[in-house]
Structure formats: C-alpha cells, structure tokens
Chain A
Amino acid sequence: MNEFSRRGFLGLAGAAGVAGLSACAGTGTAPSSGAGGGSSNTIEFWSNHPGNSKPVEQQIIKAFEAANSGLRVKLVDAGKNYEEVAQKFNASLAGGQLPDVVVVSDVTWFNFALNKQLAPLDDLLSAAKIDTSDYVDALYNDYNLDEKHYALPFSRSTPLFYYNKDLWKAAGLEDRGPKDWDEFLTWAPKLKAAAGSDTIVMELPDGSNYLDWVFQNIVWGYGGAYSKEWTPTFSDPNTVKAGAYLQDLAKKGFLKLSKDPAPDFTAGIVGCSMMSTGSLGGVTKDAKFAVGTAFLPGDGNCPTGGAGVGIPASLSDERKKNALKFIEFLTNAQNTVTFTQATGYMPVRKSAVELPEEKAFLEKNPNAKTAIDQLPKTRSQDNVRVLLPGGGARIGKALDQIVQGQDVGTVFKALDAESQQVFDSQIKSKLGA
C-alpha cells in the first residue's frame, strides 16, 4: 500500500530475521586440539560437589594453592549430579574450553574413556612417581580399561545395610545384620509381626533409582552375576535364583520399592534398607530411633559406587601434568580423610585409616566404621551394569518388572539378548582399537 510501508520496514523484517536466527543454532568449528582455552597454570576443576562438599573442596584447593605457588585452581559448579557433569563435559568436548579435572562417576567415565576423551593416567602417574598401590584396590581398578586407568577414585561410596535397632529388639533379633539373604528370609516374618501392619520390613530404591546397584549384592550372594567380563549372564541359574528371591520378598509383602527409601526409613516406617554410605550422616541426624548399620549380607559381595576424577585427553602435556598434581593432592591420605569425614564417603587410600584424626573419628562414629571395615570386602561391579551404555537403567527396568510379578526367566532372558545387542553394536568395535 503506502510507500513508507515498504521503505523503512525492511529494517523491521531484519528484526524478524534476527529473531529467527538466534533461535536457530550455530555450529562452531572444533578447536585446535591441545589449546581448548584456559591458561596452563590455572586448573579448572569441574565438580558437582558430591555430598554437599563445596566448602571442603574449597578448603583443599586453598591448601593446594598454598603448597604449589604459581598454580591456581578454579572450582566450577558443573551440575547437580554426575549425569549433569557428564552432560556439561560433553558439551565442552564439542565446543572447546575444556576443564583440567572433571568428576566422572562409575557409570559416566567409561564412555569418555572408550571414545578417548579421557586421558589414560598410567604414564602420567609413573612420570610423576606417584605410588598407586596405596589406593584401595577395588576402587582404583574400577577405572580400568585395557589395563589402563582413566580416573582416580575421589568420592566413593558403597551400599550399607541400614536397620532400625528398636524394631530389631522388638522382634527379638540379635543386634546385627543378616549373614546372608536366606537368613534374612527367616527374619522377615518376625520383623513383620513386630512391626505392625503399616510398617514395611524392607524398602529398596526402585529400578530408576539404583535398585540395580544394591541388587548386585543379592545376585553375587547367590553365586550369580550380571555378566562375566562382557558376556551377559542374566540367564545363569544362579542369577535367576536371585531374581526369584527378590520377587518372593515382594510377593510375601516384605519388600516395597520407592524412589528414595531414606525418608521412609528415617520416618521409622521401614525396618531396613540398603542405601549408600553417603546417606549415613543425614539418616543419623534425622532419625528419631537408634540406627544400626551392618555389612551387606554375604561375604565380599559389596559393590562399589560413586565417582572419581579424570583428565581430558586433548589437553596439553603441561596442563595434564598440573591436573594430575592436583588430583593426587585431592586424593592423598590427608585430604581423603578431610573430605570423607565431611561427607560420609569412603577414604580412597589404604593409609588413611592409620591417621590419628581418622582413628579418633571412627571411634566416635561406629556406623562410619562399619562402612570402612566393609571396604576390603568390596568388589568392582559387573561390566554390563556400569560400562554398557544405559546398563543401569536397563537392568533397573527389568528388576521393576520382576518385582511387579513378571516371570523372572523370561525377563532375564530378554535382558541377556538386549545387553548383548548393545554390546555388539556400540562397544565391541571400539574395544582394543
């Protein structure tokens, strides 16, 4: 119509264009390797502050900076959980500005290692003359791929058997955890009778909240496994037996699954549970009854968990060296004690328990001692759960189905096939490459 509507308003169309453009994506070119932004004497540490540990991390960083003049550590809030740190790390791998040190969990490290995005630490460790034999073996070997280690243990936890001592007393049971799962089955009716109708004997996290982690203990207890190396063994008669046991507990009304058993246990409406050692501080603080802890049933059947710290592969050698220096400091005997006392995680060094402040701490906190005494009995988890992409979630879903009453043999057989297929399509070709 009027001419002015044509003239000046191509500018407005420009505004529309901008709106459209910035809603679209830009794809950057990959940064030249080795550069990745950042200066070589500032160590960027990406952490999710496991167990609300930010103040402790800062304290350790301060000590590190005092001991290593010229090096600075920048602590970055990299997410609220391990998965978010992995997500942020993934984004930075695509776009540069890599961290120097990043927190990787028992589930997230492997994919980065497999794709050569985390640096193998062995050469760096021997060049820096760091003695790795002081790390707790099971924890150190969790990051082993093709005889190379891709992270060092940092915030490590294991499950513990938590029980309500008051209920145990009322049921006339000894003040200890069950020796094995068969013994627990004989206890359960007594506990049920003592607890009353509205209390559940045992509550475990559901399949989307690490049931697959604590169930690992029951599987091992019956001589089964999720896998032998890379071969899934869900159809193994012993594994099936463990699945049937879980189903049996649920059928008899002794077991309930929930998103998070800690609140129910703390409120006193659940008799016992298997939860992370990380929950210990919170549960003890909140519970209005005597909390007991014990080893997981069985001997040497406790899975490890938690996270370690790794170094991105494409950093310059100089930055890698500094990063390793920081990691070593972060996980040395003194600092692992400082860190674990503040959070409830496990000390990752064998010599840590010999330190006087740790001895005094354990004397005052017998429940924390249970966790540490259990540490030598831990076992690295089966590959199919921790190393196969989506492994934990896949097993968790199957366990949920079993608890809901589906046939154990059928569910596990399908799980075998599915796991094998994921391995063949996503892992096999990259192994040993």
Chain B
Amino acid sequence: MSTPAIVGTLDDETTTTPRSRRRRRDDAHGAEAGTHHRGPVWTVLGYAGMVLVVLLVAVPLFWILITSFKERGDIYVRPAQWWPEPATGENYHELTTRIPFFDYVRNSVIITSATSVAKIVLGVLSAYALSLLRFPGRGVVFLVVIAALMVPNQITVISNYALVAQLGWRNTFQGIIIPLAGVAFGTFLMRNQFLNLPGEIIEAARLDGAGPMKLLWRVVLPMSWPTLVAFALITVVNEWNEYLWPFLMSDDETTAPLPVGLTFLQNNDGVTNWGPVMAGTVLAMLPILVLFLFLQRQMIKGLTAGAVKS
C-alpha cells in the first residue's frame, strides 16, 4: 500500500542513487522546467509551501525536545521559551527514577521483536502459499484472512481477554504476544506484491528446478524486498506503539511496554509535570527513528538490486 510513498522518498537520497540514474533524472527535470517555464513567483510559493510543511512537522518535535530539557517552572510561561534556559537533565533523571523506565524498555523490545518476527514470518509464508502455490480451498482461505482484516481488534478484545485469562496468561509475555501475532494485513499486502511479480521469472526458476523454499528465498523475496521492508517497518512501528491490548493484559512493570509505562508519568487528576513526559517521549522515539533510517537504506538496496529485465 505505501510502497509508492516510500519509493518517493528516494528522491531525497540522491547520494546513494547510482550516478547514471541521477543524471538522467536531472536531465528529465531540466527538460520539464524548460517546457513549462514556471515563473519565479511560483518557485517562491513552492518553497514557501515546503517550508510550511516542514515547520508543521518539525515544530512539535522540536518543542518536545526542548521541553524535555526545561526546568518545570519554565514550561508554562509567556512568552514561550524557545530554548531551554537554563538547560537541565533533571527530567531524564526523574524519568528513570520515578518509573521503572528500563523495565518498560525491555518489555517493549521483547514484545515488539517477538510479535514483529511472528507477523513477518506468518505474513510472508501465508502470502506465498496464497499467491504462488495451488491447492484446494485457496480462495476460501484467502477470503477468511481478508475477513479477519475487516474486524477491528477493539471488537475482539473482550473475548480474547476471556480466552487468555482462562489460560492463566494474564500478565505474561505469551499472553500479550500470541493474540497480537495474527497478520491479515501482511498476508494481504505480500500476496498482492507476489502476484505482481513477473510470471516468467517464477516459471523460469521452476523450470531450473528450484524447490518451493528456494523459489521463495532466492527469487520471490529478493524481488519483493522493498514491500517486505515497508511491511516490516509498519509492523514494528505499530507493535512499538501498541497500547490497548498490552494495557489490558499487563499488571505491572514485569510485562507492561513503554506506551503503558509512560502514562504513569501523567497526573490523571491535577497538573502533569510535562518535563519527564517529554523526556520519555524522546527516548521512546529514538529506537524507531534509528530503525527507520537503517531500513530506508535497505529499501534502496533492494530497489537497485531489482532483477527484472525489460
């Protein structure tokens, strides 16, 4: 689904694009500019628009960052303080002492990695089966999976809770992870990707005697790398931010992930000290940010290694 959007971000990464392609694109761009010949007013407006959008995204993030370094009395002042003066690390100290922050981080890492791995493996395997292999009932199975996609998980929460509580899995990792591991979305996304692969290549691989697993690993997956990475990224971000189910299942810091843990910094009846909340937000964002930067490169590698002959 979001493949086009992510391919679009390639334009910013000119450094890693091969030289020839870049030149070609520059040429194309020049030609376009030549024919349309936009006036300077439009150019300025275009840049103003871009700056506006960047500000729209960046200012709240910047505000979170500086607030996390402010002293409590400096957070609500007028005129607003645009730079922490004096800067303090006190909020980060309070964050790690007032709540068991690192326990929450550990739980988040465990839950996110386990559910993500489960979702990706299940998603790829089931999509592979549903798109490239033929077996009886394939269409029915696919319909059932799609039907599961239609049911929002808020609806199944109560009955899932009943089931898991009776297994005695409340406040355990398996109780949180297993019900989250279903992947109708991944199955759907990857199946469509696999169906779009050129049939000739797959047929050629089969003729060359590739077994089904080899076909998956050596042919299908390498060609689907960008979609897979996009799917993985979406999955990881979703799991990292998952709130409702872990909140219902967990009782304390032995299993609760970060989004649940951070709420205990907020005062639910009275005035919240936003400094530590912001510090927690910054630290919770970091791993995802790093992962995103890392995976974005992988997506580009996948693209440039595309094996389609024209």
Interface residues of chain A, those whose CB is within 8 Å of chain B, are 1-2, 4-6, 8-10, 12-13, 15-31, 37, 48-52, 54, 74-77, 79-82, 84, 87-88, 90-92, 94-97, 155, 157, 262-264, 266-269, 276, 278-283, 285-286, 288, 306, 343-345
Contacts and interface: CB of A to CB of B under 8 A. Distances in A.
B266 A22 contact: no
Nearest to A50: B269
B135 A27 contact: no
A27 B164 CA distance: 10
Given A9-B129, A13-B138, A282-B273, 9 more contacts: A9-B135, A17-B144, A19-B145, A25-B155, A27-B163, A28-B162, A79-B263, A95-B162, A286-B75
Interface residues of B, number: 71
Contacts of A343: 270
Contact of A94 (B149, B162, B179, B186): B162
Contact of A20 (B144, B158, B248): B144
By Cβ-Cβ distance, the 8 closest A-B pairs, closest first, are A282-B271, A95-B162, A23-B182, A16-B126, A28-B162, A25-B156, A12-B129, A80-B263
Nearest to B125: A15
Contacts of B122: 15, 18-19
A269 B269 contact: no
A219 B290 CA distance: 54
B128 interface: yes
A22 B263 CA distance: 28
Contact of A77 (B133, B183, B250): B250
B76 interface: yes
B133 A9 contact: yes
B187 interface: yes
A74 B160 contact: no
Contacts of B75: 286
Interface in B258-282: 260, 263-264, 266-273
A75 B252 contact: yes
B287 interface: no
A17 B270 contact: no
A155 B130 contact: no
Contacts of A16: 125-127, 129-130, 141-142, 145, 187
B162 to A, nearest CB: 3
Contacts of B253: 77
Given A77-B256, A80-B266, A27 B162 contact: yes
Contacts of A2: 206
Interface string B158-172: 111111111010100
A1 B134 contact: yes
A97 B72 contact: no
A30 B182 CA distance: 24
A12 B144 CA distance: 15
Given A4-B211, A28-B162, A285-B72, A80 B78 contact: no
B30 interface: no
A167 to B, nearest CB: 14
Majority-rule SS of B interface residues: helix
A237 B72 CA distance: 46
Contact of A13 (B141, B153, B166): B141
B39 interface: no
Nearest to B163: A26
8 contacts: A4-B211, A30-B162, A37-B168, A77-B256, A155-B269, A282-B267, A288-B77, A306-B269
B253 to A, nearest CB: 8
B126 A15 contact: yes
A6 B212 CA distance: 10
B137 interface: yes
A22 B181 contact: yes
A281 B271 contact: yes
A22 B174 CA distance: 13
A18 to B, nearest CB: 7
B78 A269 contact: yes
Given A5-B133, A6-B134, A37-B165, A281 B270 contact: yes
Of the candidates B73, B129, B142, B179, the one having the most CB atoms from chain A within 10 angstroms of its own CB is: B129
A169 B212 CA distance: 83
A283 B269 CA distance: 12
A21 B160 CA distance: 12
A421 to B, nearest CB: 26
Contacts of B144: 17, 20
Contacts of A345: 269
A145 to B, nearest CB: 24
Interface string B88-117: 000000000000000000000000000000
A54 B98 CA distance: 10
A97 B251 CA distance: 12
B247 interface: yes
Given A15-B129, A79-B247, A267-B76, A23 B184 contact: yes
Contacts of B159: 25-28, 94-95
